[in-house]
Structure 1
Amino acid sequence: MGEGHDRRNCPALRATQAINLAIPAVENRNGVDGGPSSLPIGATMQEISPNINWDQVCYVFFDLETTGGSRTSDNIIELAPKVLGPDGIAIEDGSFDCLIRPQKRVSPFITTLITMIPNDMVKTAP
């Protein structure tokens, strides 16, 4: 069986489940309890979570480059987080890029077709 996403330990899935637990179930148009997926048309996260000041929420996206597609046998070779402000615009001082020395070689396939990061770029990285 090929490598794939491990749903048992997925932080994004756990976060979604936590949000779903916090959102009250509502009745859909047929009068059936449909849970969060049947929120009233036009409902916003501000209405669902009134205790959060959504005008001050920032978002962080992580761009990871790896030596391959296996979550168990490949290594991260680059970490590049980007912080976005509440308006969705990148915060200038909120981003950086860091190369990471892997425990295995970066394959030519990964270098040429995906990351453009050759082995000599990461051989002296922390």
Structure 2
Amino acid sequence: MLVRELLEKKGRLIHSISGEQSVAEAIRSLTEKRISALLILDDDRLQGIFTERDVLRCTVKFPDQDFAAIPVRDVMSTKLIVAELGDELAATMSMMIQADIRHLPVIDQGRLMGLLSIRDLVQQVVRSITAELHY
């Protein structure tokens, strides 16, 4: 199965914020939407990702500061690994495991297409195994 197929199944809803927004706003968004990652966009261009792990890093890096005063750009992850629509899911999952990441932006010719989580991939593997067992 290809990344494109899984993204079509799960939908391409992208939760994002600007790097200028505060860490407090990002945490509020994560909590309200019940998600674990936000993509950071500037003029619709992917700049980084802010995850639950970044919240933890922020508490260590800025122990006495108000999160409302810290821009997300100061704590987001910027060294991004990305998948492309034509990538195989098995290779994508392997890449995520090797890089120890749980969220993977998906691009197509430089354009952001969506975000996959390791949970999305594991759920697809379980669906595939279940389907095989029923045949």
* TM > 0.5 fold call: no
Scaled by the length of structure 1, the TM-score of the pair is: 0.22
Normalized per residue, the structure richer in helix is 2
Superposition TM-score, scaled by structure 2 size: 0.21
Question: Which of structures 1 and 2 has the larger relative contact order (alpha carbons within 8 angstroms, sep 6+)?
Answer: 2
